[in-house]
Structure 1
Amino acid sequence: MANTKSAIKRIKTIERNRIRNCAYKSVVKTFIKKYLKVLSDYTNAPNSNGVENIQTTLGIVYTKIDKAVKRGVYHSNKAARMKSKLALKYNVIKK
């Protein structure tokens, strides 16, 4: 247990930030799963508006990842890797 007042405050701050970071990561993972679901639905039954759905969900996922980077949840290189993997999956489907 912390002895000084500043150390006690620091523990509270760290715990608050940890919970916040977990929430941001959860949101990003949820939207990635939604994007992958839209991709799999399109591969099973291709249709004209499926590409539009893929593009809009990909844009939303990019936004969520970028906001997580802005808040310090992810490092920018990790975010770039995540976005690159998602774009690669889209490009394979598009061809």
Structure 2
Amino acid sequence: MSYQRFIVFEQILQRMQEKIHQNQYVMTLHAEEEMEDDNLSILDVEQAILTGSILERQSDRVTGEWKYRICGITLDNSEAEVIAKLGVTDKVVIITVYLL
């Protein structure tokens, strides 16, 4: 990964983490279902984003918006991945989450 891309990812992650601290996020129905399937709580999802790093940026096929793969640690020290984006309302949209 180039240094410039690393800096951009860090800025986006920091913005997402600030939004998590401010409870400015929404979960999709799919994310809620996946969270339940893996016995994760919303606090686990928050923790994964707060401790995570961005692995890659992907283009959403439907909207064309950028979404990000974030790998972080849950409350019980399990590794989880969260797919999230900054939505048009400037909230973090959690698209899906799963344990690794």
> What TM-score do the two structures reach when normalised by structure 1?
0.32
Query: Which of these two proteins has the greater Rg computed from alpha carbons?
Result: 1
Structure number with the higher strand fraction is 2
Structure number with the higher helix fraction is 1
